[in-house]
Chains A and B, each alone.
Chain A
Amino acid sequence: MTTAALSAGELAAVRADFPLLGRGLRGGRPLVYLDSAATSQKPEVVIDAELDFYSQRNAAVHRGAHQLAEEATEAYEQARAEVAALVGVPARELVWTSGATAGINLLAYAMSNASLGRGGEAARALALGPGDEIVVTEAEHHANLVPWQELCARTGATLRWIGVDDDGRLRLDELATVVGDRTRVVAVSHASNVTGAVTDVRTVVARAREVGAFVFLDACQSVPHLPVDLPSLGVDAAAFSGHKMLGPTGVGALWARRSLLEAMPPFLTGGSMVEVVTMETTTYAAPPQRFEAGTQMVAQAVGMGAAARYLRELGMAAVAEHEATLTRALLDTVAAVPGVRVIGPTDPTDRLAVVSFVVDGVHAHDVGQVLDDAGVAVRVGHHCAQPLHRRFGVAATARASASVYTTIDEVAAFGEALAHVRPFFGLGGAA
């Protein structure tokens, strides 16, 4: 099942893999989980992988010569290979992190340390100072904005950004002027966690190449939903989290091209990331271990590996095709309810099944409450993207987001509940 969308039978089988989807809510209502962009549910293979690790293989990895340590190390490295394969990169270029936020901070702090002269000659290309520029976008999640703001504050570099059009798409026409000779890093998300818009990464990369900047991709929202081959996108580094791609919380990955990883000085320092330590000084292990200080989240890494394997076995093309159906259904559903406005593209092309919206006259929090009463779980708030919400003149939106286990019937149930929102608050517009 790697070329076509999921059949009804296949989708039913997928749902049966997720124990939580079978539970009911207050008053016996079935759960309609439309908050996968915040965090996904976990298939049994992921839960079992963690359970199996703790009950059969638990030991410290990369140290100790006993059999358990060997088995734990093998599970840990096998998981790295599984996750790397999902995004088309060599395992030795993939660094475990505690999540995408940690991955982005790792990269930013490596550059910060390079700017302080750490990492020697190799790291000099990563050093920033006054006059240098980092370019982000107005659509970024705070995780791909604040670390770059802070890096600029520490180094004297300047943060610039490209805007978002009224449809929620990036103003890639601004690349020509915003990205220039001073640009050192372009940090952009592959897909917005608010608008669902998928970035034309190749256009971003092409402009960055012209000026010799490197490109970082926040791939949190794309990796769980689209076939992603990081090297062929042309980016230099990327981060994504385990918990949004059917894996555990507390684990994620940072990928960077080998040459970039090798040039990066360490961020967190301590045990397991060293080569030779004397009382005066330390030399560091080669990547990825250089960036994995201290005891790692091994069970979660093994769980993330199981999630990557699960997605690869489903086939990301099939996942994407199924979710494209859901994107259209979500957009049609929201469009059919009077007084509801989408924040983001209404055209399903290059767009994920993440639909944020405002209901005229009703605050997002109240929208979420009425939907919750019908068993429909959505996210409300600013979704860690305050500048994007400000761009659209709203403080908060409600967001319905799907994943591979979401069904058309759930989208219909969401639509039915949404139609009750305005009437509940005494406003017109019952569908």
Chain B
Amino acid sequence: MSSAMEQLYQQLILDHAKHPHAKGLVDGAAAESHQVNTTCGDEVTLRVHLDDGTLERVSWEGQGCSISQASISVMSELVEGTSVDEAEQLGETFRALMRSRGEGLSDELEDQLGDATAFTGVAQFPARIKCALLGWAALRDALAQAGVATNEEDA
């Protein structure tokens, strides 16, 4: 296997794909978003569970490739317990990582992303960036649906 492949399919990604976090929809959510990747038909339904400006948890159901599934799982872990603002900022940072062509971000930003920096290698494969972003798109949309989103810019 090439080194690009090893960077793409890091063990952390394979583990999350196999044992996803927060999978299984939970009742009592503030809002829900359904997103489809039109190129491959992958889909996710993601719910945000809010408590006074805090994103208590997300729950989701979906099917797709290892990159999309692992990315939703890592994201779910990362945003759990953060404020809505922090969750949105993490989304922006993750989108910046996907635009980095595999170069990565500053140490400070990468620290914020934690395990999600494992997706740095995805940015070298333009066709797979959408896979990694599927869950983050659902999160942003769900927060908008819930009426708590403050950050509507960017795509």
Where the two chains meet, the residues of A that have a C-beta atom closer than 8 Å to any C-beta of B are 26-27, 362-366, 369-370, 373, 380-382, 386, 389, 395-396, 424-426
Contact = CB atoms under 8 A, between A and B. Distances in A.
A362 B69 CA distance: 12
Given A364-B65, A381-B41, A396-B42, 7 more contacts: A26-B4, A365-B67, A369-B8, A369-B9, A380-B40, A382-B40, A395-B64
Contact of A365 (B2, B4, B65): B65
Interface string B123-147: 0010010010000000000000000
B14 A396 contact: no
A425 B42 CA distance: 19
Contacts of A389: 41
A37 to B, nearest CB: 16
A364 B66 CA distance: 10
A33 B39 CA distance: 20
B128 A369 contact: yes
Contacts of B39: 381
Given A26-B2, A395-B63, A426-B14, A369 B125 contact: yes
A363 B63 CA distance: 9
Nearest to A373: B5
The 8 closest A-B CB pairs, nearest first, are: A365-B65, A363-B65, A381-B40, A395-B41, A373-B5, A382-B41, A366-B65, A366-B66
Contacts of B5: 369-370, 373
Nearest to B39: A381
16 contacts: A363-B42, A363-B64, A363-B66, A364-B40, A365-B64, A365-B65, A365-B67, A366-B9, A366-B66, A369-B128, A373-B1, A373-B2, A373-B5, A381-B41, A386-B41, A396-B40
B121 to A, nearest CB: 11
- Interface of chain A, main secondary structure: helix
A363 B2 CA distance: 20
A26 B131 CA distance: 22
* Interface size range on B against A: 20 to 34
B66 A425 contact: yes
B1 A424 contact: yes
B79 to A, nearest CB: 24
Contacts of A396: 40-42
A380 B65 CA distance: 11
B42 A27 contact: no
A385 to B, nearest CB: 11
Contacts of A365: 40, 42, 64-65, 67, 128, 131
A395 B42 contact: yes
Contacts of A363: 42, 64-66
Contacts of B125: 369
Nearest to B18: A426
Contacts of B63: 395
Contacts of B66: 362-363, 366, 425
Most chain A CB neighbours (cut-off 10 Å) among B5, B65, B131: B65
B78 to A, nearest CB: 22
B105 to A, nearest CB: 24
Contacts of A425: 9, 14, 66
A243 B69 CA distance: 35
A235 to B, nearest CB: 31
Interface string B77-114: 00000000000000000000000000000000000000
Contacts of A395: 40-43, 63-64
A386 to B, nearest CB: 7
Contacts of A386: 41
A382 B63 CA distance: 14
A36 to B, nearest CB: 19
A27 B64 CA distance: 28
Interface string B1-42: 110110011000010001000000000000000000001111
Nearest to A426: B14
A424 B125 CA distance: 18
Contacts of A373: 1-2, 4-5
B131 to A, nearest CB: 7
B129 to A, nearest CB: 12
B3 to A, nearest CB: 9
A114 to B, nearest CB: 33
Contacts of B18: 426
Contacts of B42: 363, 365, 395-396
A52 to B, nearest CB: 34
A365 to B, nearest CB: 4
B90 to A, nearest CB: 24
A366 B5 CA distance: 11
